[in-house]
Chain A
Amino acid sequence: MTVSGIIKRIGGVFLVLLGVMLLIFIMLRIIPGDPVSVMLSEHVSQETIDRIKISMGLDRSLPAQFFSYLKGAVRGDLGESYFLKEPVVDLIAEAFPYTLKLAVFAALIAWAFGIISGMICAMFNNSFPDYLFRGLSLFGVSVPIFMVALCLQYLLYFKLSVFPLSYDGSFGSMVLPAIALGWNSAGSVARLTRSSLMEQLGSPYIDTAMAKGLSYKGAVIKHAFRNAMLPIVTMMALQFSGMLSGAVITESIFSIPGIGKLALTAIQTRDMPLLQGTVLFTAFLIAIGNLLADVLNALLDPRISVS
């Protein structure tokens, strides 16, 4: 892994962001519906509408609008929300800590469960624990988030009242959303860990390790596990950036004021600057997640180099 390789990749991230900006800008202008008419009541004169349009800069040509947006973005200014009347950057900065907290919590639960159950499956292949955790992980990847979330609320709030129904700032109220958000990830990590570790357990270098004098367990921990982790690390980095950006459903169900909720509000109110801002931020997180996955892989695997 070289420094120039990483710099090149970071340059790539900026190119991706530029593309995303252009795309979202065009898409938002193509879709029918006028933000000004959504903002105002029906009985407003055309004059007023035009005046507001001019004040928002919507009267200018599309390229001119885009370049002024780009200029602002470079300086860290993503415009002002039409609906909430606050700078988009401030709104995102306010919402992000909630999403981050949720994602970290969800990832920790999901990965701990996924990796451990995947390891159990691989080491006790084709016996009862393998069947049990394989069944659970299939359940994990196939049940959608909203279903999990509603079942959790029903069982652990209405029936057993262990956790609160929605987010109220306490630690306990984060548990259900974290499980719901991590549910699918736990399933796919478990399945990947199982197959990846089983592949490594059949490798001749495990025999070599045992012929050296390591026990089977020692060979698995010292040799197989690190090799098996390579694809899992990639998956985890992508999952984490996905959790940071794609928690729309979870955040809505548990009313967490995070990025997902913000994006949803923006869509519902035709709030173009806010929507542009959240999409751009999300794209940034995903691009960083990808970069991180590649860098981690290069750090773990000497056969791979970044570039």
Chain B
Amino acid sequence: MIKEPLLEIKDLSVSIKKADGNIPIIKKVNIVIPRGTIVGLVGESGSGKSMTARTVNGILPPKAVVTGGSVIWHGKDEKDKDLTSLKERELRKLCGRGVSMVFQEPMTSLNPLMRVGDQVSEVLLIHGLVKNRAEARKKVVAMFDEVGITEPDLRYNAYPHQLSGGMRQRVMIAMAVICEPELLIADEPTTALDVTIEAQILKIIRNMCTARNMSALFITHNMDAVAKLCDEVYVMYMGRVVERAPVKEIFDSPAHPYTRGLLSSIPAIGNSPEYLNTIPGNIPEIKKETKGCDFCLRCSDDIRKCFFESPKEVMTGEGHYASCHILEDKLK
């Protein structure tokens, strides 16, 4: 059964403006987020995951510009519009209401001078979903309770520095879901948290999505979190999607050498501590133009073609695609 898409990122390219020309950081990325689905976006730091997500709600850093492609929104408001060409005012109206976001750093993502409850109320007030502050407060307290904040009425008046990291991230989640958005973007929401808190936060996100039939784009470099949370996975490397598949497929039969590298880097219990698998090398410096496969320098089984030609996307299973010359040759 094919689910109706909520958001389609088509051939999206983003560059950083520099004095001596543009440096591409996202290259022709295609991502489809169906309704009621949690899509995972994984990759190393600097692979363009966050940038891709930030293009959706238009909070790119000042020097980043969209150089091509589109982000088509199929939600209730601004239906079938390209978000990258939407006017700033219309896009801001959609943000928080249709698309919301949870950030990586719960320590710094909240305004330190405002009571956390007021910061959540602000979303309701901006979008005119409540008549007054008292009504907003009531809704916020109920939402705090739902995301597992103990003594929600008391916590409403707390300042961010009085809460723990896990509590702050719950506040962020409450802020993101209080307007009942259709899409939740979670940009590494558990990276800054303890493992035990991480599990709780993941569970809250999962429950929120199921209860509200909300879609989510979950950005992480934690394969374990992907396995627990996501329905579909996109793997990014150097600004490109190199593999996409349903979550079970990715773990059962990873096709792209990069994905295989990522999965084998997860330490298993029982292996000796000296024996930690890594992907050799680092992400190379992003240059203006690249030739061949971006991964060829770190790939364990490269062939001559990899250095000169960009690989095309090939189907390796049901809903499972990867961009790799080796797979291309195998499937011929």
Contact = CB atoms under 8 A, between A and B. Distances in A.
A214 B111 CA distance: 14
B328 interface: no
A209 interface: yes
B103 interface: yes
A300 B159 CA distance: 12
Contacts of A210: 57-59, 92, 95
A122 to B, nearest CB: 12
A209 B111 contact: yes
A211 B103 CA distance: 10
Contacts of B93: 213
The winner among A210, A214, A303 for most chain B CB atoms within 10 A is A210
A300 B113 contact: yes
Interface in B101-160: 101, 103-105, 108-114, 122-123, 126-127, 159
Contacts, number: 74
The winner among B88, B103, B109, B111 for most chain A CB atoms within 10 A is B111
B111 A213 contact: no
Interface in B52-82: 57-59
A6 to B, nearest CB: 20
Contacts of B332: none
B112 to A, nearest CB: 6
Interface string A204-221: 110111111111000000
Contacts of A300: 113
B316 interface: no
Given A207-B59, A208-B103, A215 B88 contact: yes
B159 A208 contact: no
Given A211-B57, A211-B101, A213-B127, A204 B96 contact: no
The winner among A209, A213, A301 for most chain B CB atoms within 10 A is A213
Contacts of B126: 212-214
Given A213-B92, A215-B88, A208 B110 contact: yes
14 contacts: A203-B108, A205-B110, A211-B59, A211-B95, A211-B96, A213-B92, A213-B93, A213-B94, A213-B127, A214-B92, A226-B113, A227-B111, A227-B113, A301-B113
Nearest to B88: A215
The winner among B92, B101, B104, B110 for most chain A CB atoms within 10 A is B92
A227 B108 CA distance: 12
Contacts of A211: 57, 59, 95-96, 100-101, 103, 176
Interface in A210-257: 210-215, 223, 226-227
A208 B119 CA distance: 10
Contact of A213 (B97, B108, B110): B97
